[in-house]
Amino acid sequence: MAEPDLIYKITILNLLSKSDIPMTGPQISSFLVDGGYTDYFTGQDQLAALQERGLIIEKEEEGAPTYQLTAAGAETLYLLHDRITPAIEEDTRNFFEEQQLSMRQNHTITAAYDGVPGGGYLVHLKLTQDGNTLIDLNLHVMSREQAEVMCMNFRVRYEDVYESLMDTLVQ
């Protein structure tokens, strides 16, 4: 049973190494289960074992735990790269082609609003890339319509917002 466990662990390390954003447990489990590698519980056991050995780190991001490769994990993957078959590489590539856009939107762009006692709405806009926060804004607006438009525009035009802020604040 040691060989399959090693393959599962290396597959998870490879998956995390190919992702430009931290991944959630359900995303990793989806890859393992939907790809026919193993069942959900074995996948969770492998995640826990990798974390215990310091090969991956769990972080809290937007209220959900995410996983990232550590330096030790990257080194381990490098040493065992010959265990990653072309089929695993193909599955990984296909997974990211299918999932990357929704993963990026779910984990790097946050746009939400809350009602404020006394009137108005507080709009929360956040952009993270590679685990680094690029924008974290909280803006007060008077109407729900304004809050909704700001959230929608930020999700679609976050790059323009970032560039504009940088131009304004750096000059």
Task: Name the CATH code of domain 2-84 (choices 1.10.3720.10, 1.10.10.10, 3.80.10.10, 1.10.260.40).
Answer: 1.10.10.10
Q: pLDDT of the chain along its 171 residues, tens only?
A: 468 888 999 999 999 988 877 788 888 988 999 889 999 899 899 999 999 999 998 887 656 678 888 888 888 988 888 888 999 999 998 888 887 655 555 556 788 888 899 999 999 998 887 677 888 999 999 998 999 889 888 877 888 888 899 889 887
CA dist., res. 169 & res. 80, Å (int): 46
pLDDT at 104: 54
Phi, psi of 20 (to 5 degrees): -90, 0
Residues 68, 73, 78, 81, CA torsion sign: negative
User: Which residues partner with 61 through β-bridges?
Assistant: 64
62 torsion bin: left (phi>0), alpha (psi -120 to 50), beta (else): left
Note the Cα 14 to chain centre separation in Å.
15
